[in-house]
Structure 1
Amino acid sequence: MPLPRIAVDNAAIVVKGAFNPAIFSPLWLQNVGLIGETEFEAAVLDGISRDFAIFSVDWLNLQVLPDSIQLRTEVAEETERMRDVAIGILRALPHTPLSALGINRIAHFDAENEERWHAIGDRLAPKKVWSSALKFPATRSVSIIGGRAGNYGGSVTVTVEPSTVIPYGVFVAINDHYDFTRVDDPPMSRADVTLPQNVEPRTGMASIAIEILNDRWSPSRAESDRIIQLVGESG
C-alpha cells in the first residue's frame, strides 16, 4: 500500500559530541565547499556565539550547541544533499570527539476523519485495560523502541502522537540511533535492545559516522517509510 498523505515531512541528522559553535557560520560552510554563493547570500542568521550557532541557508537549517549539531530540512528533494553537508562537516572536523549519530524523521499525515484517527490510537494503545479507571481514554503518546538489522550498534525509537499541525492528523517521529559500536549479529531478543546511553565523546569516530551516513542513509529512509505506512494502516 502507498504511504498515507503526508502533510509535513522533516528529515534531520543529529550528531552528538563536543563542538565549538562559534566556528560555524554560512561563510564557513561556503569556505569548505558545502554551499554555494547563492545560498550564502540568502542565509538567515538567528545567532552565533560561543554557546550556540543557529542559521538557515534556503533549504537547510543548522543548529550547533556545545554537545550537538542538528541539520534539518523540510524539502524532500534535498534530504540527500543534507546528508552530504553532514558528511562534509565531519570530514572538515575529523578530530572532533563524537558520541552518537541519529538519522531522524518527523512526519505529520492526514488520517482523513475522526473515526480513523481514533482507530489508529486504539490499535497502537488498546483502551480496554483503561476503561475501569478512566472515562473516555484516548491516546496521547506511544513510544516504541526496537533493534534493526545490520552491524552497527544502536536502536530505533518510534513516537506516535496526535498531530498539532493538521486536524485529525498523526505525528510520527523516528530516531534511528547509532552509538558507533559494531555488532556481530542483530538483536536476537528484547533483552538485546537497549535505550540510548549518554557516553563520553571520543576522537576517531568521524570516519565511522561518515561510513554510517553512506551505508545506512537509503535503508534508514526506506525503513522510516515502512514505519509511517504501518502506522497509517493501523487505522
Structure 2
Amino acid sequence: MDIKEKLQISVTNIVLIGDFNPIIFQPAWLASKGLIRENEADSVNLELIHKELVRYRLDWAELEITDNRFYIQTSKEAYQEAIRDLVLGIFKTFLKETPIRALGINHLLHYQLTEKEYINLGDKLVPLNNWNEFFKDPRILHVEVLESQRLDNNNGYYRVNITPSDLLPRNGIIINLNDHYSLKNQERGTQGEIIKILEDSWDSSLTMANDISEYLWKKVQQ
C-alpha cells in the first residue's frame, strides 16, 4: 500500500514574521482588492477584529494577524495553492512596503496507521530494544529532527516532528515539516526577498514534505 492511501488530513500553513497593522486585513479589505469574493467576505466566520489582533475563518482558510505575525492555514488540500496566492496577492501587489523578516511554510500530514505500522515506525526511528532493560513494552511518542543549515542557500532551517495525531483515532500520526526561512541581513533586507522565496520555494517545500513521508513509510515496510 502506498503512503498516500494512509493520508487522512493534510494541513498547510504559512507564517510571516514582520511588522503588520492587523486591522487592515479585514475580510472587507480583501474583497475590495479582489483577493477574495464579496460573498466570501459576507459569510466569513468572524472571531475577533481588534487593532492588535484579527482572527477569522473563510470556508477554505483561517487567518490570524497580530502586529508581528501573519498566519494563514488551510486543511483542504485543494486550497494549498490558494493560501499561497492570497499571501502573494496581499504583499506582492498591495502591501509592498510591509517589513517581513521570516517565513515558515508548514506541512502537517496526518496518517492513519495500523498498530503494527505505528510500532514499527517508532522502532525504525528510535530502536525500542534500547529500552528493554527498563521497560516491557515501550512506545515512541515524539521524534524531532533539526537541520540547522538549509540545502538551498537560503538562510533558515528544517525541523521535522513526528507525533501522535490529535485528529485521528488510535495509531494516527502527524509528520510535521517546518520549512523555515529568514533574511540573512534582517536590518537591510526587504519584504520582497521573503515573498520571492515563498513564490519560488512553494513547490519544493510541498515535495520535501511528501518525500519525507514516503521515505519513512519505506522504512516501516522493511
Q: TM-score, normalised by structure 1?
A: 0.85
| 1:84 equivalent in structure 2 | 85
Q: Is the 8 A contact 1:45 1:55 kept in 2?
A: yes
Give how far 1:135 is off. 4.3
Give how far 1:3 is off. 3.1
Q: Is the 8 A contact 1:176 1:220 kept in 2?
A: yes
The ranges of structure 1 where at least 4 consecutive aligned residues each deviate by more than 4 angstroms after the TM superposition are 201-204
Structure 1 stretches of 5 or more lacking a match? 183-200
Q: Partners of 1:138 and 1:178 in 2: how far apart? A: 33
Aligned pairs for 1:47-62 within 5 A: 47-62=48-63
Structure 2 stretches of 5 or more lacking a match? none
Letter of the 1:229 counterpart: E
Q: TM-score, normalised by structure 2?
A: 0.89
Give how far 1:89 is off. 2.0
Q: Partners of 1:134 and 1:66 in 2: how far apart? A: 48
Q: 2:107 aligns with which of 98, 105, 108?
A: 105
Give how far 1:63 is off. 0.7
Structure (1 or 2) with the greater helix fraction: 2
Q: Partners of 1:36 and 1:164 in 2: how far apart? A: 32
The percent of aligned pairs where both chains have the same amino acid is 30
Higher RCO structure (Cα 8 Å, ≥6 apart): 1
| 1:3 equivalent in structure 2 | 3
Letter of the 2:164 counterpart: P
- Distance change (3 Å), C-alpha of 1:129 and 1:51: same
Q: Partners of 1:134 and 1:98 in 2: how far apart? A: 48
Q: Is the 8 A contact 2:101 2:191 kept in 1?
A: no
Q: Is the 8 A contact 2:109 2:174 kept in 1?
A: yes
Deviation sequence 1:145-190 (CA, Å, 0-9, x none): 12443221111110001222222111111100001239xxxxxxxx
- CA-atom RMSD, angstroms? 1.9
Q: Partners of 2:122 and 2:204 in 1: how far apart? A: 27
Pairs aligned (count): 216
